[in-house]
């Protein structure tokens, strides 16, 4: 298990260095900054893209009238072009990134004619992912300013603005459709609970709550993204989304722990060490959600973003590993019980079920954490949504598997206890053996 956790950690570490495409109207405050290069934001343009820049409260620490203000300004660059620019700078072909012909120059302080604010709006017709960068090639000047940057693509015949980056613009629809799927699952689950009401346990209602929360979480994510798409900012929908993400995260991890311990099926209470797992996982989920909010809401190049991403990563790995322990304990207990007590058949079936569950939880964690990040890295920004969809489909498969395997049912080996059921389980095992042969 330690090996699984460390490889998840490694992959997530790699993912730290993969920047995500962000896509909103962004306000960046720069105060007495002497950095020669300040990346501001990133966006995937189509052929009808546009960049709007409003720079205000400009203050340059060097008041010498002879300095070359053309060496301070903004440009757009693709990642590829940037690598070449770095080479040009190393070879002294150019002395300032702004002078390179590989970047799209947007505006500089010379064009602003010494005013304390200026606005520019430039069309972008190359379908590429660009990073907006501020360059200050003066060696002895600190810059202060407020930058409002808006990047969008013009869509449709009426040319309305779409503030979501190419490759993300379809996301509201993806989230909405998925939320419909989860609402249908919740409906089916309610029907199952009603039909099998005599064999329903408390944990089945818990499962219902998890599915409903997931459905609401997705619908608010769809609404959040579609507001950003239309207006460039979330207008408070993100708050609802974060609240439901938070509730869903806690409930899902708790559910995995509860199923893993066999709570409410096998025994009505939790043992001390199992309670401890919950006491670790729940507060960590709180931290993970705070980190997620910070990471989402700050610019991709924000100062504290990497720290918060590291926090998120660490907490996530701990949670994922912690939820595996109760399942491992249960498997161990069952293996011993199968050897010692008379109900060998029931215990063996429970064991099989727990083993399957263990494997599926690991696959789920691996896929949603590792494979999805890997996909994000290797797919072009234009197909960003495919990695989101892949992660969501894996999650859906996990929910369906959990619901199917632990559904209320008279002969579920999970909570078979009396002799009659022991016989039924033995019968079923025999049947399964025959099938396998």
269: exposed, middle or buried (C-beta count within 10 Å: 0-12, 13-18, 19+)? exposed
Q: Which is nearer to ligand NAG, 59 or 119 (CB)?
A: 119
What DSSP designation does 126 have? S
Nearest distance from C-beta of residue 395 to ligand NAG, angstroms: 39
Whether 220 and 172 have beta carbons less than 8 Å apart is answered as no
Q: Which is nearer to ligand NAG, 150 or 331 (CB)?
A: 150
Q: Which is nearer to ligand NAG, 48 or 352 (CB)?
A: 48
Nearest distance from C-beta of residue 161 to ligand NAG, angstroms: 12
What DSSP designation does 20 have? P
52 binds ligand NAG (CB under 6 A): yes
Q: Classify 269 as helix, strand or coil.
A: coil
Whether 87 and 97 have beta carbons less than 8 Å apart is answered as no
27 binds ligand NAG (CB under 6 A): no
By beta-carbon distance, which residue lies closest to ligand NAG? 119
Q: CB atoms < 10 A from the CB of 419, how many?
A: 11
Nearest distance from C-beta of residue 164 to ligand NAG, angstroms: 20
Hey, CA dihedral for 90, 92, 98, 104, is it positive or negative?
Answer: negative
Nearest distance from C-beta of residue 121 to ligand NAG, angstroms: 4
54 binds ligand NAG (CB under 6 A): yes
| 35-41-44 Cα angle (round to 5) | 145
Q: CA 232 to CA 166: how far, in whole Å?
A: 14
Q: Which is nearer to ligand NAG, 88 or 146 (CB)?
A: 146
Q: Which is nearer to ligand NAG, 56 or 377 (CB)?
A: 56
- Sites for ligand NAG among residues 188-207 (CB under 6 A): none
**How many residues sit close enough to ligand NAG to count as binding (CB under 6 A)?**
4
Which of 121, 271, 304, 377 binds ligand NAG (CB under 6 A)? It is 121
Q: Which is nearer to ligand NAG, 118 or 183 (CB)?
A: 118
304 binds ligand NAG (CB under 6 A): no
Nearest distance from C-beta of residue 124 to ligand NAG, angstroms: 14
Nearest distance from C-beta of residue 150 to ligand NAG, angstroms: 8
Q: CA 340 to CA 332: how far, in whole Å?
A: 13
Q: Which is nearer to ligand NAG, 148 or 411 (CB)?
A: 148
Tell me which H or E stretch contains 146: strand 143-155
Report phi then psi at 53, rounded to 5. Answer: -130, 125
**Tokens 């994922």 — which residue?**
320
Q: Which is nearer to ligand NAG, 149 or 292 (CB)?
A: 149
**Which two three-digit tokens encode residue 314?**
């660490």
118 binds ligand NAG (CB under 6 A): no
Q: Which is nearer to ligand NAG, 55 or 372 (CB)?
A: 55
Q: CA 296 to CA 291: how far, in whole Å?
A: 9
Q: CA 160 to CA 231: how far, in whole Å?
A: 10
Nearest distance from C-beta of residue 236 to ligand NAG, angstroms: 20
Q: CA 317 to CA 51: how far, in whole Å?
A: 38
101 binds ligand NAG (CB under 6 A): no
Nearest distance from C-beta of residue 151 to ligand NAG, angstroms: 12
Q: Which is nearer to ligand NAG, 54 or 62 (CB)?
A: 54
Q: Classify 72 as helix, strand or coil.
A: strand
Nearest distance from C-beta of residue 120 to ligand NAG, angstroms: 6
Q: CB atoms < 10 A from the CB of 193, how many?
A: 17
119 binds ligand NAG (CB under 6 A): yes
Whether 134 and 146 have beta carbons less than 8 Å apart is answered as no
Question: What is the distance in angstroms between the CA of the first residue and the CA of the last residue of the chain?
Answer: 32
Which residues sit at the interface with ligand NAG, rule CB under 6 A? 52, 54, 119, 121
């Amino acid at each position: 298990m330690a090996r699984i956790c460390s490889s998840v950690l490694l992959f997530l570490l790699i993912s730290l260095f993969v920047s995500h495409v962000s896509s909103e109207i962004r306000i960046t405050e720069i105060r007495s900054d002497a950095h020669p290069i300040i990346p501001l934001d990133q966006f995937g343009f189509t052929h009808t893209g546009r960049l709007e820049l409003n720079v205000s409260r400009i203050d340059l620490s060097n008041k010498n009238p002879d300095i070359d203000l053309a060496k301070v300004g903004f440009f757009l660059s693709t990642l590829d072009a940037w690598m070449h620019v770095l080479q040009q700078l190393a070879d002294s072909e150019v002395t300032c990134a702004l002078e390179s012909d590989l970047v799209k120059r947007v505006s500089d302080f010379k064009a602003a004619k010494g005013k304390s604010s200026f606005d520019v709006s430039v069309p972008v017709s190359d379908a590429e992912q660009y990073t907006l960068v501020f360059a200050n090639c003066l060696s002895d000047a600190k810059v202060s300013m407020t930058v409002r940057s808006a990047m969008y693509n013009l869509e449709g015949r009426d040319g309305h603005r779409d503030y979501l980056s190419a490759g993300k613009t379809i996301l509201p629809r993806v989230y909405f459709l998925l939320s419909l799927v989860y609402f249908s699952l919740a409906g089916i689950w309610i029907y199952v609970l009603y039909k099998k009401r005599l064999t329903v346990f408390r944990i089945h209602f818990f499962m219902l709550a998890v599915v409903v929360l997931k459905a609401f979480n997705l619908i608010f994510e769809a609404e959040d993204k579609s507001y950003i798409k239309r207006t460039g900012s979330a207008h408070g929908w993100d708050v609802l989304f974060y609240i439901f993400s938070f509730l869903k995260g806690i409930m899902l991890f708790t559910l995995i722990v509860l199923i893993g311990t066999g709570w409410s099926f096998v025994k009505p209470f939790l043992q001390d060490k199992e309670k401890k797992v919950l006491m670790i996982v729940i507060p960590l989920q709180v931290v993970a959600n705070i980190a997620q909010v910070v990471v989402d809401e700050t610019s991709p190049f924000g100062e504290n973003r990497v720290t918060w991403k590291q926090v998120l990563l660490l907490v996530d790995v701990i949670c994922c590993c912690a939820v595996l322990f109760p399942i491992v304990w249960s498997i161990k207990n069952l293996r011993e019980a199968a050897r010692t007590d008379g109900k060998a058949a029931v215990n063996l079936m429970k064991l099989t079920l727990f083993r399957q569950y263990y494997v599926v939880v690991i696959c789920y964690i691996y896929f949603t954490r590792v494979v999805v990040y890997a996909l994000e890295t290797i797919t072009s920004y234009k197909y960003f949504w495919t990695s989101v969809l892949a992660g969501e489909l894996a999650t859906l498969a996990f929910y369906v598997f959990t619901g199917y395997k632990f559904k209320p049912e008279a002969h579920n080996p999970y909570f078979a206890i009396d002799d009659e059921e022991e016989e039924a389980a033995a019968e079923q095992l025999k049947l399964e053996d025959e099938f396998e042969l």
